[in-house]
């Protein structure tokens, strides 16, 4: 399908269905953000460790937000060349095929109710990594396959209905595409390869469900969505934007990688938020990690082989700044951390490892706890603020070193997005400790932009990836300014500080 239009005609609609809110953003042919509408949804915590959403509420929000955003530029459905969807990953919803109603709450990616199931499966030979050869993922509560397995174990009636094909399962991309394309009246039940690669149910090589993994989690294949490329025409909308082409779906972090135009092997981006996610494009080859990273699908354009990525997640980055503000009262607003850190020229010899709930990539040490070390009478709150910012930079380096070792690629520069990128001292520190340039784009909404780019590509609104690269513009760049001796000494001190967090919680 091709739809080459003059520059001023038409918009791509990106629906970003996130963990706390849903946003609808319109982009024009130049890749400029021209309209945005946003709405939060309720978080439900019925028991300790349980996190749920109301999928019907989320769908109602999408149905309101898209027309609101379109109204800002007086766009009609005829002006929408394509719709792209990006979503919170690993959150699972089950719904009735006939009525379209959810059969229970959506179980959110943060939810840990599957801990016993994960532990039971991890006790077998091979431990938590026993399935990584198939799906690229370790056994943890993070992924959606164990969630589906738990739901089917917990409710015998749901299992019977799933086996009979009366109930459909999917991640949020599937739920939205199904509803947009007709719901009970002919809705398309699909999921894209990036979301499927986070279920533990997909074989990374075949890009289809693994019979072994379906059996392990006890999930009937007939209730699952068909796995399709991330950039492809899925069908036309019958609701919200009637007639508009649904052209893409990607998990949020993969969408950010696409929006940052990281299309070549070795290209990497880091999204700095409450926690941080670093993804590196590893090309058409599957790169297995021996350094604590996840192997995942970066994207797939229809008719082309998939592109893979390595992913490293850091649990606490922006959350540490919030902790300094809310728990210690060192600052009254998050941006003040930079001002406070700039009152001193260095960290005064102190290091802050924010292992508040263990350490994520590349260590995966659940028993580690936070540590502030190197304290002397000389240290002030300015030094602590600086050490807190430096912890985000050193944690970034840990993940980058693991990626370089796994992929054999050398990071040449890091593209960044997310709220923390407004902190210039932090970005300079990241460039210093990585010894590589750090680059921030003009459009900070890279998740939505990735969904829009992918959808526009599917309908020929943009002809190819090179056209997308030309639309990516740099807003800021930080180049390394630290000497090698200081960098090496700081890196050694950081690694020693991290080692001292291990083994704090003893069972």
Distance between CA atoms of 475 and 30, rounded to whole angstroms? 16
Distance between CA atoms of 207 and 297, rounded to whole angstroms? 9
Question: Would you tell me how many other CB atoms lie within 10 Å of the CB of residue 429?
Answer: 25
Q: Does residue 160 have a known ligand-binding role?
A: no
Q: Does residue 423 have a known ligand-binding role?
A: yes
Q: Which of 145, 144, 13 lies closest to 91 in space, CA to CA? A: 144
Distance between CA atoms of 192 and 189, rounded to whole angstroms? 11
Q: Does residue 99 have a known ligand-binding role?
A: no
Q: Does residue 419 have a known ligand-binding role?
A: yes
Region class of 364: left (phi > 0), else alpha (psi between -120 and 50), else beta: left
Burial of residue 492, with CB atoms counted within 10 A of its CB: 0-12 exposed, 13-18 middle, 19 or more buried: exposed
Q: Does residue 252 have a known ligand-binding role?
A: yes
Q: Does residue 91 have a known ligand-binding role?
A: no
Q: SS3 of 244, please?
A: coil
Burial of residue 459, with CB atoms counted within 10 A of its CB: 0-12 exposed, 13-18 middle, 19 or more buried: buried
Q: Which two tokens stand for residue 287?
A: 């790169």
Q: Does residue 351 have a known ligand-binding role?
A: no
Which of 86-98 are b and which e, b meaning 16 or more Cβ less than 10 Å from the residue's Cβ? bbbbbbbbbbebe
Question: Would you tell me how many other CB atoms lie within 10 Å of the CB of residue 477?
Answer: 12
Q: Does residue 21 have a known ligand-binding role?
A: yes
Q: SS3 of 235, please?
A: strand
DSSP character string of 251-264:
EHHHHHHHHTT--S
Share of the chain residues as helix, strand and coil, in percent rounded to the nearest 5: 35, 25, 40
Q: Which of 258, 268, 257 lies closest to 400 in space, CA to CA? A: 268
Alpha helices in 109-251 (DSSP H): 115-122, 132-135, 144-154, 156-163, 172-180, 193-196, 211-217
Cβ–Cβ under 8 Å, residues 69 and 24: yes
Q: Which two tokens stand for residue 10?
A: 């038409």
Q: Does residue 370 have a known ligand-binding role?
A: no
Q: Does residue 195 have a known ligand-binding role?
A: no
Residue for token pair 């939060």: 40
Q: Which of 18, 3, 11, 5 lies closest to 445 in space, CA to CA? A: 18
Q: Does residue 322 have a known ligand-binding role?
A: yes
Cα-trace Rg, the chain: 23
Residue stretches of the annotated binding site: 19-21, 23, 89-90, 142, 252-253, 274, 318, 322, 419, 423
Residue stretches of the annotated binding site for glycerol: 89-90, 142, 252-253
Residue stretches of the annotated binding site for sn-glycerol 3-phosphate: 19, 89-90, 142, 252
Residue stretches of the annotated binding site for ATP: 19-21, 274, 318, 322, 419
Residue stretches of the annotated binding site for ADP: 19, 23, 274, 318, 419, 423
């Amino acid at each position: 399908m091709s739809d080459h239009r003059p520059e001023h005609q038409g918009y791509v609609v990106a629906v970003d269905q996130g963990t706390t809110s849903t946003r609808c953003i319109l982009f024009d042919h130049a890749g400029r953000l021209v309209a945005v509408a946003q709405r939060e949804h309720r978080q439900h915590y019925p028991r300790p460790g349980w996190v749920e959403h109301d999928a019907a509420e989320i769908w109602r929000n999408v149905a309101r937000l898209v027309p609101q955003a379109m109204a800002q530029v007086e766009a009609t459905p005829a002006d929408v060349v394509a719709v792209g969807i990006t979503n919170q990953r690993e959150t699972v919803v089950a719904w009735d095929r006939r009525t379209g109603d959810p059969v229970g709450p959506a179980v959110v990616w943060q939810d840990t109710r599957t801990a016993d199931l994960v532990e039971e499966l991890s006790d077998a030979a091979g431990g938590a990594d026993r399935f990584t050869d198939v799906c690229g993922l370790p056994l943890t509560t993070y992924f959606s396959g164990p969630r589906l397995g738990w739901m089917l174990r917990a409710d015998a009636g749901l299992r019977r209905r799933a086996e009979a094909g009366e109930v459909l399962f999917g991640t949020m991309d599937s739920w939205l595409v199904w509803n947009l394309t007709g719901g009970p009246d002919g809705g398309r039940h699909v999921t894209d390869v990036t979301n499927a690669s986070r279920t533990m149910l997909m074989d990374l090589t075949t890009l289809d469900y693994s019979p072994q993994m379906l059996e392990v989690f006890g999930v009937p294949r007939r209730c699952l969505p068909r796995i399709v490329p991330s950039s492809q025409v899925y069908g036309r909308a019958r609701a919200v934007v009637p007639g508009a082409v649904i052209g893409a779906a990607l998990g949020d972090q993969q969408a950010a990688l696409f929006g940052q135009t990281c299309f070549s092997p070795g290209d990497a981006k880091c999204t700095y938020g409450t926690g941080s996610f670093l993804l590196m494009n590893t090309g058409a080859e599957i790169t297995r990690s021996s350094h604590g990273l996840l192997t995942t699908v970066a994207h797939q354009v229809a008719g082309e082989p998939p592109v893979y990525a390595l992913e490293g997640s850091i649990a606490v980055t922006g959350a540490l700044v919030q902790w300094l503000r809310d728990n210690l009262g060192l600052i009254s607003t998050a941006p003040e951390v930079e001002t406070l850190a700039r009152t001193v020229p260095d960290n005064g010899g102190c290091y802050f490892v924010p292992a508040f709930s263990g350490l994520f990539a590349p260590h995966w040490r659940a028993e580690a706890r936070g540590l502030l070390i190197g304290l002397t009478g000389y240290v002030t709150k300015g030094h602590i603020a600086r050490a807190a910012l430096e912890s985000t930079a050193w944690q970034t380096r840990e993940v980058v070193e693991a990626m370089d070792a796994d992929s054999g690629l050398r990071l040449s520069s890091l593209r960044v997005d997310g709220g923390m990128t407004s902190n210039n001292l932090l970005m300079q520190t990241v460039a210093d400790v990585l010894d590589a340039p750090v680059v921030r784009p003009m459009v900070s909404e890279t998740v939505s932009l990735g969904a829009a780019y992918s959808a526009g590509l599917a309908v020929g609104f943009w002809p190819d990836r090179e056209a997308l690269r030309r639309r990516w513009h740099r807003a800021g760049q930080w180049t390394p300014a630290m000497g090698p001796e200081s960098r090496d000494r700081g890196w050694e001190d950081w690694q020693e500080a991290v080692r001292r967090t291990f083994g704090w919680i003893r069972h």
